[in-house]
């Protein structure tokens, strides 16, 4: 199984819901999906960097909505409202009254991976879109080690590979970016109807950090 993930969040705009979410998909036939997404993005390639937040790629976003209907695709999303994160010291989600994004992101990933029942598979490859870590390269390596240790302990009989890389290096990470952006738009608008239509093919976890 292959899992691709990207994050989307709102931490600054207080006029809208403040949240952190990690979104993407799981698929068994990676090659087939790669070919299909390559076909979808072909008319947009070469002009500028393809990015979901760029309005120039609204048509590609529409193609994403059609593609996520593939029967072999499982959509993934873990979502946490900032105001519902516990403030207790033992939870350590805040440092000096500031949100500890690294800790929250780490725990949200663990919750998601724990929910997926990966023990049913012999081999799992997880690719997460890279981002800036507050502590630099050392923090990034610590983060990867923490996730790898969790996976090894949780799923000792499953061979798991965990990688962090830029979306520009893998077009399926780019696809995950478009999925994450679509989910972001639904979350920011409290569009429960959108997710209701997808629940039959989606693993969605809301506000697990309580």
DSSP the chain: -EEEEEEEEESS-TTS--EEEEEEEEES-HHHHHHHHHHHHGGGTTTS---TT-GGGHHHHHHHHHHTT-TTEEEEEEEEEGGGS---GGG--EETTEE-HHHHHHHHHHHHHHHS-GGG-SEEEEEEE----TTHHHHHHHHHHHHHHHHHHH-TTSEEEEEEE-GGG-HHHHHHHHHHHHHHHHHHTT-HHHHHTTGGGEEEEE----
More confident residue, 45 or 21: 21
Give me the mean pLDDT over the 97-112 stretch.
Answer: 91
pLDDT band at 91 (very low <50, low <70, confident <90, very high): low
pTM above 0.85, yes or no: yes
3-state SS, 137-196, equals HHHHHHHHHHHHHHHHHHCCCCEEEEEEECHHHCHHHHHHHHHHHHHHHHHHCCCHHHHH
User: What fold characterizes domain 2-206?
Assistant: Nucleotidyltransferase; domain 5 (3.30.420)
Q: Report the pLDDT value the prediction gives residue 15, as an integer from 0 to 100.
A: 80
Domain limits of the chain? Answer: 2-206
Beta carbons of 3 and 26 less than 8 angstroms apart? yes
* Mean model confidence pLDDT for the chain: 91
Whether 13 has a pLDDT exceeding 90, the answer reads no
């Amino acid at each position: 199984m292959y899992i691709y993930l990207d994050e989307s969040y709102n931490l600054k705009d207080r006029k809208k819901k403040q949240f952190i979410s990690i979104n993407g998909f799981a698929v068994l036939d990676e090659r087939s999906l790669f070919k299909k997404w390559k076909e979808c993005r072909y008319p947009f390639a070469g002009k500028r960097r393809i990015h979901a937040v760029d309005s120039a790629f609204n048509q590609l976003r529409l193609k994403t909505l059609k593609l996520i209907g593939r029967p072999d695709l499982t959509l993934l999303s873990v979502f946490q409202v900032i105001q519902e994160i516990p403030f207790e010291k033992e939870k350590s989600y805040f440092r000096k009254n500031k949100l500890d994004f690294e800790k929250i992101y780490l725990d949200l990933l663990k919750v998601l991976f724990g929910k997926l029942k990966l023990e049913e598979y012999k081999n799992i490859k997880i690719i997460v879109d890279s981002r800036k870590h507050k502590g630099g390269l050392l923090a990034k390596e610590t983060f990867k080690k923490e996730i790898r240790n969790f996976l090894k302990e949780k799923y000792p009989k499953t061979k798991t590979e965990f990688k962090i890389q830029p979306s520009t290096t893998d077009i399926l990470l780019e696809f995950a970016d478009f999925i994450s952006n679509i989910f972001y738009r639904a979350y920011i608008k409290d569009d429960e109807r959108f997710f209701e239509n997808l629940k039959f093919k989606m693993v969605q976890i809301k506000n697990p950090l309580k």
